[in-house]
Amino acid sequence: MARPAYQAIKDYLVGQIRSGVWKEGDLVPSENDLVRTFGVARMTVNRALRDLSADQVLVRVQGAGTYVGPPVYQSTLVEIRSIADEIRDRGHQHSAVVLVLTKEPDGPGAGFRSVLVHQEDGVPIQVEDRWVNPALAPGYLDQDFTLTTPNEYLVRVAPLERVEYRIEARLPPDQIRHALTMDEGEPCLLLHRRTFSKGQAASVVDLWHPGNRFRFTGHF
Amino acid sequence: MARPAYQAIKDYLVGQIRSGVWKEGDLVPSENDLVRTFGVARMTVNRALRDLSADQVLVRVQGAGTYVGPPVYQSTLVEIRSIADEIRDRGHQHSAVVLVLTKEPDGPGAGFRSVLVHQEDGVPIQVEDRWVNPALAPGYLDQDFTLTTPNEYLVRVAPLERVEYRIEARLPPDQIRHALTMDEGEPCLLLHRRTFSKGQAASVVDLWHPGNRFRFTGHF
DNA sequence: GAGTGGTCTAGACCACAGG
DNA sequence: CTGTGGTCTAGACCACTCC
């Protein structure tokens, strides 16, 4: 089985949303519709819809139908996840612009530094200002971060041992505000995170998000 | 169907882990074991295990088995903890002012409502705007919330089953801003949280915090 | 080879929403 | 009432791991 049927159905649904055929609040085909379209059992369709509902891509109402969910940018705190993955899971296009990628001189703060802007369908959604320990990721500067996010690279080369984070609401510096194309006076949701690997600090990052189109969510 | 079978299985598994009977890395019963134990179809067991795997509570390896995952646990952020406790733990004085404590009329949103301001050494640090399900906490209105926080009362009378939360950076409404003695234009850190108990929504709360003197922190 | 999880089927009954 | 999603069954075949 190359690609499971339920995954094909998910891809189809996400594709319809990504391409703009279905918009927020639209009623999507019912389970029985999709059963006929794809020629599978209802349980298979149900799994696809339930998965996307858990991802908040769709909203299901018993007795009424399944709708396209609101385009809420979200993230989870309990897992270090690539923002690129999250955006793609929501059926949108991720892209990144590298603003800074340098080696900071010796002294306190010595190490690699990168500043990126992550975009969802071309709309800036996160500014990532990162310091990286050269001892743990010596090849950091040679990566193409428009293809692989720093996070994806780091979890690969430096297995995560411990994470500390801090969340604040802050008015952004002008530079950040402009990079996120935010109006003056709009607050940012700032996630400051330090990761440790092999007993050393691996990376310290400030993630700035526009408060009016980003939130962290979770459950337990 | 009071509680779905798959939920009962999830509760059982989570209970074994929370209570320490099973520890990280332990092999949990196979699907066929659980089928026999609970007397349900394998698909039902599969759903329970797949759900917990998606939540990173379990790790599944095809051909090998299902294991208890690493303790990806809620931190102070999502932990339902009394703000009074947190303040006292920091060695400061907690006090609360009750602004609203009423029974909302019938219709959507019917139930109890309370609005409190929590203070740390007399400085307002959190506005708590809460809706409570009367069926789960009938004695809610009779409590003295200057002595016991709503949260402390609720976890006592309605055992926590599930929590959903959302964190945003927002400019506060004027009322909230004044209650927190914040300057105009200062952002708030807003934690929106819904708790469930005995299969029902127990409480929905908006917790507003001044961005310049409050942050969520945690680690794992 | 025996046991595991991954997926799928073709039915079924139920609760709920809407006209 | 019809149509929707929510759940469940009792099988099945497959890919994989481990012995």
The rounded distance, in Å, linking the Cα atoms of A210 and A172 is 9
**A182 closest CA partner among A124, A120, A100, A116:** A124
Residue B160 has pLDDT above 50, yes or no: yes
The rounded distance, in Å, linking the Cα atoms of B145 and B208 is 18
Is B78 within 8 Å of chain A by CB? Answer: yes
Q: What is the pLDDT of residue A28?
A: 94
Chain A, 30-89: which CBs lie within 7 Å of strand D? Answer: 30-33, 42-43, 46, 49-50, 53, 60-66
Q: What is the pLDDT of residue B73?
A: 47
pLDDT category at A78 given cuts 50, 70, 90 is very low
- Could you say which of B166, B185, B188 has the minimum Cβ distance to residue A185? B185
- Could you say which of A54, A165, A170 has the minimum Cβ distance to residue B217? A165
Chain A, 17-36: which CBs lie within 7 Å of strand D? Answer: 28, 30-33
The rounded distance, in Å, linking the Cα atoms of B188 and A189 is 10
Is A207 within 8 Å of chain B by CB? Answer: no
CB contact under 8 A, A170 and B211: yes
- Tokens 């208890």, residue? B68
pTM for this predicted structure: 0.65
The rounded distance, in Å, linking the Cα atoms of A23 and A49 is 16
CB contact under 8 A, B211 and A168: yes
Give pLDDT tens digits for B53-83.
987 788 999 898 999 887 654 444 445 567 7
Residue B92 has pLDDT above 80, yes or no: no
Q: How far is CA B45 from CA B48, B73, B76, B198, in A?
A: 5, 24, 32, 21
Tell me the chain A residues in contact with residue B196 when contact means C-beta distances shorter than 8 Å: none
- Could you say which of B78, B164, B169 has the minimum Cβ distance to residue A187? B169
Give pLDDT tens digits for B163-175.
777 788 888 888 8
**Chain B interface test: which of A42, A77, A177 (most B C-beta within 10 Å):** A77
Between strands B27-28 and B65-68, the pairing is antiparallel
Give pLDDT tens digits for A79-113.
556 777 777 776 777 888 888 888 877 666 678 88
Q: How far is CA A147 from CA A84, B131, B199, in A?
A: 10, 46, 44
DSSP state of A183: P
Q: Is the CB of B30 under 7 A from strand C?
A: yes
First to last CA, chain B: 37
Residue B167, judged by CB atoms within 10 A of its CB (0-12, 13-18, 19+), counts as buried
